Amino acid sequence: MRGRPLHGDPAMALSPGRPRQAHGVPVGTPAAGQPAAGDGAAADVVDYKVARHIATQVARQREELLKTAAGVDRAAEEQYCLNWINEAVALWSDAQGVERGVSPTPQEDDALRRAVYDLLYRAGRLQPYLDDERVEDILIHGPDEVWLDYGDGVRRRVGPVADSEEELLEMLRELARDSGHSERTISTANPTLALSLKDGSRLQAVTGLGPMTYAVIRRHRVADADLDALVRLGMIDAVLREFLGACVRAEKNIMIAGKQKAGKTTLLRAMLREFDPQCRFATVQSEDELFAHADGYHRQAVSLIARESNGEKDATGRGAGEVTLLDLMHPALRMSLERIVVGEVRGPEVVAMMQALTNGAGGNLCTIHARRPDTVFDRIAELYALAQGNLSEQLAYRQTANGLDFIVYVDMTDETQIGGRRHRYVSHVLEVTGIGESGRPATNEVFCPGREFGELRAVPRMDPACVDDLRRVGFDSHLLQQPYGAWARPLALKVEGLST
């Protein structure tokens, strides 16, 4: 059960074709075994006070079942609960028919069944938005101000996901428990919460540091894409697809950089599909966003997830029980791995990552935030400066030059404010060739925007110095002689020209 019984307003009718309010359950594809959705022709109405009452009743029945039938498995338990939900909703529907003189519609009954199921087994009142494939971000400002950001850049306000601050906090705590992060919670003593939900969505919440609890859920709308899928989405073209695949097969160390929400993690996931299925590698992350160990493709993926402290401090002043990404890097290097993948380098772990790049085998991947391609090295130097020992800029540059082979920069052009859409694409591929005259890493611009013909996306510019290594894994270097790449025409924009 999640939270306390709700005492909200009466259910709100919703017009088909619009984003549903939190009181309504949207029509979608249900999980296997859960109540089926309606056809959306009628307004689906859920009174969450009723849904919570039924969920509490079924939760008690489930508790008694587990006491008396200790050997029951999850599937059988869920089936019992589905039967109890159906019975309770049928009784409610009959009572409503007597009270109102008109029986609820089948769509209303089904929406109530799904809402109860979501309260018991899924993310409660958040679940309809997690099920909506159009939603990219769920923005929560307290219990009753909730916004949805869609992939096309549209932002809409929807109904509440809780009826009080405490209920919202309890929902967040329950999401943490259900996601397997038992050590993570949120309270005034632990005001921040970061975790991955069961579906891979990333949640960040803050409480007690402002007038209300804030939370953002970032959904991964393209979770299972490979490089071919990114070609279809227009993020890369066929030439760059072949080049990136060859770089992975040739065991080049690659850093994916870009702005927030540009698609770095999506590209990283796609590039992991270029690994041999039997390749033994580790993913090192603060929250699991790569899902390599459970994607059905990789057979030897080791998933290592950082752990937050329990709130107490040890003798050194460090949080008791805390395991950082830097802590995870050292055992990872001793696990007979062929490659290491760091979901996002954003702190002192950059030092261990660079040591792995310079000391171990090639083929390692990571991501990093950077506003422009030419700021990536400065960003790495900043993280070095934040690491223990205040490591020098010169060391950062030297290890970067010695360890990295390529930087792939992912950009985004957002024209939603003028009626356009968001365009996500790779704009640059830089080959790191050593230390330059200024002491900074030197680079070759292998791919970059076609500035002379108005193309923002990456097109071939030159052969990399390591082109023979790529040829040895099957890359056709003649592809790099196509000045327009495989793009049929420049990126269609409302405001033409290249941003700086």
Q: Give the SS3 label for residue 176.
A: helix
Strand pairing category for 146-150 and 155-158: antiparallel
- Of 19 and 428, the structure prediction assigns the larger pLDDT to 428
Domain boundary among 101, 128, 155: 128
Residue 355 sits in the same domain as residue 408: yes
Domain boundary among 221, 250, 279: 221
How far apart are the C-alpha atoms of 430 and 255, rounded to whole Å?
Answer: 10
Domain tally for the chain? 3
34: phi > 0 → left, psi -120 to 50 → alpha, else beta; which? Answer: beta
Residue 266 sits in the same domain as residue 333: yes
Q: What is the pLDDT of residue 18?
A: 29
Q: What is the pLDDT of residue 79?
A: 94
What are φ and ψ of residue 278, in 5° steps? Answer: -95, 5
Q: What is the pLDDT of residue 83?
A: 95
Q: What is the pLDDT of residue 291?
A: 84
Q: Is residue 22 predicted with pLDDT exceeding 70? A: no
Q: How confident is the model at residue 313 (pLDDT cuts 50, 70, 90)?
A: low
* Residue 215 lies in domain: 133-221
Q: Is residue 167 predicted with pLDDT exceeding 80? A: yes
Residue 474 sits in the same domain as residue 329: yes
Residue 445 sits in the same domain as residue 470: yes
Express each pLDDT in 416-452 by its tens digit. Answer: 888 888 899 999 999 999 999 889 999 999 999 998 9
Q: What is the pTM of this model?
A: 0.75
Q: What is the pLDDT of residue 350?
A: 86
How far apart are the C-alpha atoms of 115 and 109, rounded to whole Å?
Answer: 10
Q: Could you tell me the CATH number of the domain that includes residue 203?
A: 3.30.450.370
How far apart are the C-alpha atoms of 295 and 300, rounded to whole Å?
Answer: 11
Q: How confident is the model at residue 467 (pLDDT cuts 50, 70, 90)?
A: very high
Residue 143 sits in the same domain as residue 256: no
Residue 332 sits in the same domain as residue 186: no
- The DSSP string of 116-171 is HHHHHHS-GGGHHHHH-TTEEEEEEESSS-EEEEETTS-EEEE--S-SSHHHHHHH
Express each pLDDT in 475-490 by its tens digit. Answer: 999 999 999 999 999 9
Q: Are 489 and 266 in contact (CB under 8 A)?
A: no
Mean pLDDT of 39-65: 78
Express each pLDDT in 210-226 by its tens digit. Answer: 999 999 998 876 667 89
Residue 120 sits in the same domain as residue 159: no
Any domain includes 245? yes
Any domain includes 496? no
